[in-house]
Amino acid sequence: MQNLTKKSGNKIFSIHSPLLVIMLLICSVVAYAMEPRELKTEHKKDPSGIDVVVPRFSWKIHSTVPDQEQSAYQIIIASTPRLLNPRRADLWDSQKVSSSQSVLVEYDGKPLTSKQKAWWMVRVWDKNDKAGKWSAPAYFEIGMLNPDDWTADWIKTAIKFEEYSYPAPHFRKEFNLNKPILSARLYCSAKGLYEFYLNGKKVGDQVLTPGYTSYETRLQYQVYDVTEQLRSGTNAVGVILGNGWHRAFNPNGRPMPDVWDVEVIGQLEVTYTDGSVQVISTDESWKSSTGPILRSEIFFGEIYDARLEMDGWAQPGFNDSSWKGVIKTTSKKSNLVGSIAEPIRKIEEIKPVKVIYTPEGDTVLDLGQNMVGWCRLHLNVPAGTQITLRHAEVLDKEGNFYTTNLRAAAQKLIYTAKGTSDEIYEPRFTFQGFRFVAVSGYPGEVTTDLLRGVVVHSDLAVTGSFSCNEPLINQLQHNILWGQKGNFVDVPTDCPQRDERLGWTGDAQVFAPTACYNMHSPAFFTKWLRDLAADQHEDGAVPHVIPNSLDRGGAHGWADAATIVPWNVYLNYGDHRILSDQYQSMKAWVEFIRKEAGDRYLWLPKERQFGDWLAFATTRSDYPGATTDKDFLANCYFYHSAGLLRKAAEISGKSSEARDYADLQGKIKAAFNKEYVTPNGRLSSNTQTAYVVALSFGLLPESLEKAAAERLAKDVNTFGHITTGFLGTADICHVLTKYGYLAESYKLLYRKDYPSWLYPVTKDATTIWERWDGIKPDGTFQNPGMNSFNHYAYGAVGDWLYKVVAGINPDPEKPGYKHIVIKPHPFGEMNHVKASHDSPYGTVSSAWKIENGKFILTVVVPVNARADVLVPASDGGLVMNGKVTESTTVVPAGEIPYKFLQTKVGSGQYTFETSLKLD
């Protein structure tokens, strides 16, 4: 053996040195070890208060070895950190399980009980059956599983208010703790919105709690670890309540959903070191008062008089002798449920970019970004100074502050200062959608230091990125993501600014695929789907908005969220349980349609239908317009939902029901073609949306698909632009690409004039608009009754950017990115693309560029996943990591000007190169 030596300071290590041999062995083990990281329970990191008795566990695996896979795993779970080792784990030791599953592994240990705390770790074995190191510990905590676990009472203030909109009630109570404290948990909820305080400090960092749900059946509670906020001796607990969604106003000025008082329930459980437990609960011993929040509502905003602040009101020793009592109410506890989704939080802050003085005399701060949240004021003004902030998304063409599109939503903050130096104010129980803030009443010069925009949304991790060589398309992606941020505030809303802000089902279902790329959405959608099932009518009709506060529902393309959204969660996250949990809801919706369709298997809806909402309206005399027949679309969605239900039945092991829905699909398809399709493949509704939906859902005979796709492409070329509304936009580029009309897809993407995706970008949009022409080419506005500038539905094109342009695709046969299909589609001016998605297994990325007639693609596949990579090529072979590799040729449909060279890879980073010549 060659005697290699290396100098290190004054020492010389020999290869024969025992110390060096040990070091090399350690390095070898570390280099090849499989290490689980990013442990999650029920899609979340260290969740507290879950009400799932069979939780599921996921982890990502780190390894420096390429083409690495998990061959086995072992999970241990213990009731205390001290017991968390393989010899002592008292809740579950899975032992070594030969399986590659690392996503959503089901618990199979001792029965879990209410308030159960549990710590867990996992280790995995690699493809050569070599064990890796144990992960760092993770944690989860079960919530209140039974209504009887709640000993606290619902209470409300005893103060009588004459006006419906009344000041925010404050509540307080003092209590003593006389033993050493081991731990403490606060379980709490409200009818309305709440902030809890302990000894003067706000509990937790969540905002707008308990969130927005179908309150009558599902009212969320939260669980907080408050151990560090308590002390021996006298303590104080305080609560402030706001109206929130519970008492929100609709455009007609009436309360929604009902005239209820705000109430609170709270249960503080303190565990001492001796094992005893003391419970401090909301009951009739509490006191209540009002304070500085004179009015606070979702749509209106907030009126706050800082002179009415009560210093120390949530601390021990405060004089509450003038406070009133409380009333114990009869509100039920059976509807209290654990929080499923990530909470709403303050995510980031934005500094205004400039001050604008409008022609009409307003002083306006421009934050440079249409955002959702509120403003934080920084003041040093005399006591009694009243400052008003009004919020708007846009300025009109003259440069004046524009709020007409807000309808009845005031979106204002009125703050009266108390006169101290460095005064800071931000609201608690409202939020606004805005880019521009009009400031009035401020006695000094308004500068960009006066306020900050506080961005608020559900705290979902951003999991997707897309960029390319076209700055306008990069801004489009930015706008799509910010539209999602602003409208994912506990529910997927249509818009965040006007007097609506509702969970419209149609918007959610068309955007769900894009949403799952951009942000970690499984828990968010799971929570919303629970509300959908709760609000679904007995006959299966699904309301238009969830939580329901409007009409009965039953609209095609909207109610189909019941089937489409669960499927997308399954596809993107490998979540089988969501299909089984939502199965009855999915089935009820399809059976509702089947009953209305009758023996003809043609659905002629009896309820209000929206159709291809906000499709392009044309005045051309040689074309009948872009309005697609609603009955046509209804039957397309009938077929599609039946198909998704069939797949859910197959996956859930319901084979007989799967056969039934396969048979139903066949009958729907036959009836549809007889009613709406000519023998030559022309559709009764000769619109882009009609062809897109029929082809996307697979309703046409294979023999007619080519002719139908040709008609679609011809329509695109005839108009030169998109004409679709909400239902057609999501899939138009997918369908064109599938049938070989890639040029037409890119034509739509790159178009900058109205109507197009980039037209709003040229108008300085920073989020997606509700309408193609929210701001018309002449600078005027569309109908203010329906003209949101933050409305994500048309942002559904993001799915095509990820799947087709970048080429990152989950495989329905192995969902959740266990198997990945990488298949980018370059064309025209697009010559450089970089995209990534943080999947349940880790980061998947695709980055490609075209240089000197070469297509160069760099792909990253996470550990424990595999991929098929299809690389565009004009001729020649496939080079992988500098070496020619075997590949299979795949010829695409239609006029796509290249073939694909396909190969299979395991985890790791790979660079592919082909010869590619594009005209």
Give the residue numbers annotated as catalytic, written as ranges: 500, 770
CB atoms within 10 A of CB 36: 26
C-alpha distances in Å from residue 83, one per residue of 86, 89, 384: 9, 5, 59
Shortest CA distance to 866 belongs to which of 833, 899, 826, 910?
A: 910
Residues in the chain: 919
Angle at 285 (CA atoms; ends 284, 286), nearest 5 degrees: 90
819 CB contacts (<8 Å, ≥6 apart)?
Answer: 811, 813, 865, 866, 867, 868
And the tokens for 89?
A: 């784990």
Sign, CA dihedral 529-531-532-538, equals positive
H or E segment and range at residue 175: strand 169-177
Q: Give yes or no for a contact between 489 and 211, defined as CB atoms under 8 angstroms apart.
A: no
Q: What is the tally of helices (H) and strands (E) in the chain? A: 15, 51
CA–chain centroid gap for 635, Å, is 29
Binning the chain into helix, strand and coil, the percentages to the nearest 5 are 25, 35, 40
Alpha carbons 553 and 859: distance in angstroms, whole number: 44
Kindly state the helix (H) or strand (E) to which residue 24 belongs, with its residue range. Answer: helix 18-32
CA–CA separation, 17 and 682 (whole Å):
81
Q: Which residues fall within 8 angstroms of residue 861, CB to CB, at 6 or more apart?
A: 820, 844, 867, 905, 906, 907, 908, 909, 910
Nearest-angstrom CA–CA distance, 535 and 544: 10
* Cross-strand partners of 73: 97, 124
**Tokens linked to 164:** 């419906």
Instruction: List CB contacts of 73: < 8 A, sequence separation 6 or more.
Output: 94, 96, 97, 99, 101, 102, 105, 122, 123, 124, 125
Classify residue 123 as left (phi > 0), alpha (psi -120 to 50) or beta: beta
Pairing of strands 819-822, 866-873: parallel
- Residue 150 and residue 190: Cα distance in Å, rounded? 14
